[in-house]
Amino acid sequence: MTLEITINNNTFVLHCTGAMYWVEKRMLLISDVHLGKVSHFRKHGAAIPGQAKYKNFLKLNSVVSFFSPETICFLGDLFHSTLNNEWDLFTDWMNHTRVPVVLVAGNHDIIAPYKYKDLGITVCSEWQLDVFLLSHHPEQREGLFTLCGHIHPAVLLEGMGRQFVKLPCFFRSAQQMILPAFGEFTGTYVMEPADGDSIYAITKNDVVAVAIK
C-alpha cells in the first residue's frame, strides 16, 4: 500500500492513492484532485454516472484516516473549474475533516480565493518549507527540492508477452518530485526518464519502484 523513501534527509511515504505523507512535518501532500470535474462534464453531456462524483471524497477520507495528518497541502488543481454542486460536497468534507488545509493554487483553481478562505483554507502561489519548494508546476530553483504536480505522470511498462500497461506514478528527478494526479477522472502523461531519475509506479493496492533500463 505504501513505499517509504528519503529526500534530503526527510522521510516521505508514498501511498497507492497518489498521496504522499511527509513524516517530519506530519503533512499530507495531494495534487490534482480536480473536484467538480464529473459534474462539469455531465453538465456538458458526458455519459458519466452521477455517483462518480463521490469517489474522490471516498479516496480523501481513506487516505486522511490512514495517515491522520496535522496538515493537508493540496498542490494545485483542487477544483477543476467554476463552482458546481461538488463545492457543497467539498464544504461538507472540510467541516468533517477538521484538519488545517493549505492550497498551493494551480492553473485550474479559478474559484475566487475568498471562497476557500471562508472554509478556513490558506491559499498561496507557492510554499517554501526548509529546503523544499511546494508548487503546482514543476520548477527548478537553486538550493531547493520541488514537490509539485500538474503533469499527471505515468509510466508505460512492457510485460513478458510484449503487452503494455500504463500506470500512474511518482516521478523523481534530481531536484523535484512530481506527484500523480489524485483525482479519479484525470488523464495521464507518460514520462521518459533520464539517467538518475526514479519512478514509483502505482498499482491498485501498492507503490512499486520501477527499474529504469
Task: Write down the pLDDT at residue 99.
Answer: 96
Q: What is the CATH number of the domain that holds 81?
A: 3.60.21
Number of domains in the chain: 1
Please report, in tens digits, the pLDDT of each residue of the chain (213 residues total).
999 999 999 999 999 999 999 999 999 999 999 998 765 444 544 445 456 678 899 999 999 999 999 999 999 999 877 777 889 999 999 999 999 999 999 998 889 999 999 999 999 999 999 999 999 999 999 999 999 999 999 999 876 667 789 999 999 999 999 999 999 878 899 999 999 999 999 998 999 999 876
H or E stretch including 56?
helix 55-67
Could you tell me the residue range of the domain that residue 141 belongs to? Answer: 2-210
Closest by CA to 20, choosing from 148, 194, 195, is 148
Closest by CA to 181, choosing from 170, 173, 197, 172, is 170
Closest by CA to 38, choosing from 30, 27, 49, is 49
